[in-house]
Amino acid sequence: MSLVVYGHPFSSYTQKVLIALYENATPFELRCIGPDTPQHAAEWLRRWPLRKFPLLVDGARDIAETSIIIEYLQRVHPGPVRLLPEDPMAALEVRFLDRFFDLHVMNAAQHAVDGALTGDPVKRQEGKALAEKKLEVAYAWLEGQLAGRTWAAAGADFSLADCAAAPALFYADWTHRISESYPVLRAYRARLLARPSFARAVDEARPFRPLFPLGAPDRD
């Protein structure tokens, strides 16, 4: 039985897992959680009542949390692209950067999105201000961290950390532009956008851009 992913093409965390699947050309079926397919949402919530997606289903197994999903894929459905290095210390750095992009970039941008979704102009402004403050700190740290690197982790090839970074920096930049004072970070985001696995995820999500609560900019 093939792998099933419950998620949505425009969702950043779904994209993180799609990148891993595309990197290794792993076959799977995407069951989109949206208004046209209520049966998918019902099945997803039956399996994972914590209401977070994506969720990976592999036969009788339900696997939640994107970092765990990607590590699971590597262990159980490995392909030519190894997304966690074999060396434990190198793997630790990859896991750390994965956490950094989820917690300090993606979740920081989410404050602005959540504020906008309330429909309350004051909350919208507060959410935007908080996101901007947090993202500036994250951008400045990444600018130093990524200097001299092609991919996020030192000496590592494309990894789990880059799977997390791609959608996080994609939407963070839409929320609070990465300014020209961060050339290293801007170049890294451009490299991620050029990576075929992420380029495919971005293209598949294009029809949903009007859904972006802050208004999608006319780029990327």
Ligand X SMILES: N[C@@H](CCC(=O)N[C@@H](CS)C(=O)NCC(=O)O)C(=O)O
Residues in the site for ligand X, rule: CB under 6 A?
A: 11-13, 51-53, 65-66, 102
CA distances from 17 to 71, 73, 159, 217 (A): 10, 9, 12, 24
Q: How far is the CB of 179 from ligand X (least distance, A)?
A: 25
3-state secondary structure of 25: coil
Q: Cβ of residue 11: shortest distance to ligand X, in angstroms?
A: 4
Taking the least distance from each CB to ligand X, the nearer of 14 and 197 is 14
Q: Please, what is the minimum distance in Å from the beta carbon of residue 13 to ligand X?
A: 4
Instruction: State the nearest-atom distance from the C-beta of 114 to ligand X, in Å.
Output: 9
- Backbone dihedral angles phi then psi of residue 57, each to the nearest 5 degrees: -120, 125
Residue closer to ligand X, measured from CB, 52 or 206: 52
- What is the number of residues in the chain? 220
Distance, CA of 88 to CA of 158 (rounded, Å): 16
Residue 165 or 186 having the CB closest to ligand X: 165
The two tokens of residue 172 are: 């963070």
With b meaning 16 or more CB within 10 Å and e meaning fewer, what string describes 86-95? eeeebbebbb
Provide, rounded to whole angstroms, the least separation between the CB of residue 147 and ligand X. 27
Tell me if 115 sits within 8 A of 102, measured CB to CB. no
The radius of gyration computed from the CA coordinates of the chain, to the nearest angstrom, equals 17
Q: How far is the CB of 133 from ligand X (least distance, A)?
A: 21
Cα 38 versus chain centre, distance: 24
Whichever of 44 and 182 has its CB closer to ligand X, that residue is 44
What is d(CA 46, CA 15) in angstroms, rounded to the nearest whole number?
22
Closest to ligand X by CB, 104 vs 186, is: 104
* Residue ranges in the chain assigned as alpha helix (H): 12-23, 38-47, 66-76, 88-100, 107-117, 121-145, 160-175, 183-194, 196-205
Measured from the CB atom, the residue of 12 and 175 that comes closer to ligand X is: 12
